[in-house]
């Protein structure tokens, strides 16, 4: 059974990629993931704020300005709260590359144009095979319009793409007004792939202490449904690659993502819960599923239920929304 797949122009042994997470902070752990079958790994992100803060600190030491910028950045974590400093991050890319045979994808996280995007070039020089740019943005300023946000994002992507020869994937939020149009624009500025989607960690309310509580909940397979819809809508018109991130926990989830048009699936929560060896059983499960149904490779399956190929395309669209609401009787 041939599970190999192309992703961002890289040939991967199978579609299972370890998503951006702390797994690659440790080379031995990354090795275990590779040995268990991971076809590529994405490192945790290096953040725009983190790079900016370091560059400002350097400037501060050189120029010692009168006014401090600490106030403006005080909502963000201090240096010590980030797990990897920018220098450490570059060294980690080299260490991973020296120890692994699978592609290493380094991750940048930010959405405003600026000097921090040059780090993509340093990632490339350190040996990264690709860059994943996470455009995580939460806009609460009512003075800022959506088109301005997207224009900044596109400029950011364009400047990362310009600075490297390795492929750049963009990890997207599901909250764009017209995701298909935005993805077309991303491809227009040179993105070689899109990862759907970012997960937003929603803070909860503690009603006893009247506090807002940030929390990190691992995903479950219900989160995949949002991804399936958009993979299915995006895949017929994409030139580049598509990766599903969020809610992939079982062999069936991998099959569904492929049917919707994904080239790869990214896994994090399932690995945090079960450890690297779950990869081996997921790969075995995928082979079994394919061979039982007479498929010889994953390309035969890819996109079979996307908007272009599925028997009822309206299932993805407004028509189905209306039908579903009308079908409920009390």
Ligand X SMILES: Cc1cc2nc3c(=O)[nH]c(=O)nc-3n(C[C@H](O)[C@H](O)[C@H](O)COP(=O)(O)O)c2cc1C
Q: Which is nearer to ligand X, 14 or 295 (CB)?
A: 14
Give the nearest distance from C-beta 22 to ligand X in angstroms.
Answer: 6
Give the nearest distance from C-beta 17 to ligand X in angstroms.
Answer: 10
Give the nearest distance from C-beta 56 to ligand X in angstroms.
Answer: 21
Tokens coding 62: 């050189």
Q: Which is nearer to ligand X, 108 or 305 (CB)?
A: 108
Could you tell me if 283 and 3 are in contact, meaning their C-beta atoms sit under 8 angstroms apart? yes
Q: Which is nearer to ligand X, 201 or 328 (CB)?
A: 201
Give the nearest distance from C-beta 272 to ligand X in angstroms.
Answer: 6
**Which of these, 22, 82, 25, 23, lies nearest to 52 by C-alpha position?**
82
Burial class of residue 310 in the structure, from the number of CB atoms within 10 Å of its CB (0-12 exposed, 13-18 middle, 19+ buried): middle
- Residue ranges in contact with ligand X by CB under 6 A: 19-22, 44-45, 107, 109, 134, 171, 199, 218-219, 245-248, 267-270
Q: Which is nearer to ligand X, 44 or 192 (CB)?
A: 44
Q: Which is nearer to ligand X, 144 or 218 (CB)?
A: 218
Give the nearest distance from C-beta 218 to ligand X in angstroms.
Answer: 6
Q: Which is nearer to ligand X, 222 or 326 (CB)?
A: 222
Rounded to an integer, what distance in angstroms lies between the CA atom of residue 171 and that of residue 202?
Answer: 18
Q: 107 phi and psi, to 5 degrees?
A: -120, 130
**Where in 120-245 does DSSP place strands (E)?**
130-134, 168-172, 193-196, 204-206, 211-213, 241-245
From residue 266, alpha-carbon distances to 113, 252, 317, 318 in Å are 27, 14, 25, 28
Rounded to an integer, what distance in angstroms lies between the CA atom of residue 243 and that of residue 22?
Answer: 19
Q: Which residues pair with 195 in a beta bridge?
A: 171, 243
Give the nearest distance from C-beta 199 to ligand X in angstroms.
Answer: 4
């Amino acid at each position: 059974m041939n599970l190999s797949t192309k992703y961002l122009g890289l040939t991967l042994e199978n579609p299972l990629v370890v998503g951006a997470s702390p797994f690659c902070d440790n080379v031995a752990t990354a090795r275990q993931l590779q040995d268990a079958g991971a076809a590529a790994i994405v490192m945790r992100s290096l953040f725009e704020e983190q790079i900016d803060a370091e560059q400002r600190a350097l400037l501060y030491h050189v120029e010692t300005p009168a006014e401090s910028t600490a106030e403006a950045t005080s909502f963000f974590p201090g240096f010590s709260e980030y797990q990897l400093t920018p220098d450490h991050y570059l060294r980690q890319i080299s260490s991973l590359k020296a120890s692994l045979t699978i592609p290493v994808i380094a991750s940048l996280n930010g959405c405003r144009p600026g000097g921090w995007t040059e780090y993509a070039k340093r990632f490339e020089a350190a040996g990264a095979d690709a860059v994943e740019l996470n455009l995580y943005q939460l806009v609460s300023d009512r003075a800022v319009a959506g088109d301005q946000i997207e224009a900044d994002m596109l400029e950011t992507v364009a400047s990362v793409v310009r600075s490297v020869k390795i492929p750049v994937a963009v990890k997207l939020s599901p909250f764009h007004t017209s995701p298909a149009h935005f993805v077309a624009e991303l491809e227009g500025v040179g993105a070689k792939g899109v990862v759907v989607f970012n997960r937003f960690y929603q803070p909860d309310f503690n009603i006893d202490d009247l506090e807002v509580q940030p929390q990190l909940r691992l995903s479950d397979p219900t989160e995949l449904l949002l991804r399936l819809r958009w993979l299915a809508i995006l895949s017929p018109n994409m030139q580049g690659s598509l990766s599903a991130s969020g809610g992939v926990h079982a062999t069936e989830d991998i099959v569904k993502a492929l049917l919707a048009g994904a080239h790869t699936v990214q896994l994090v929560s399932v690995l945090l819960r079960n450890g690297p060896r779950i990869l081996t059983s997921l790969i075995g499960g995928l082979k079994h599923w394919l061979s039982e149904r007479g498929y010889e490779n994953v390309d035969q399956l890819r996109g079979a239920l996307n908007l272009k190929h599925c028997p009822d395309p309206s299932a993805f669209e407004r028509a189905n929304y209306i039908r579903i609401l009308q079908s409920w009787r009390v």
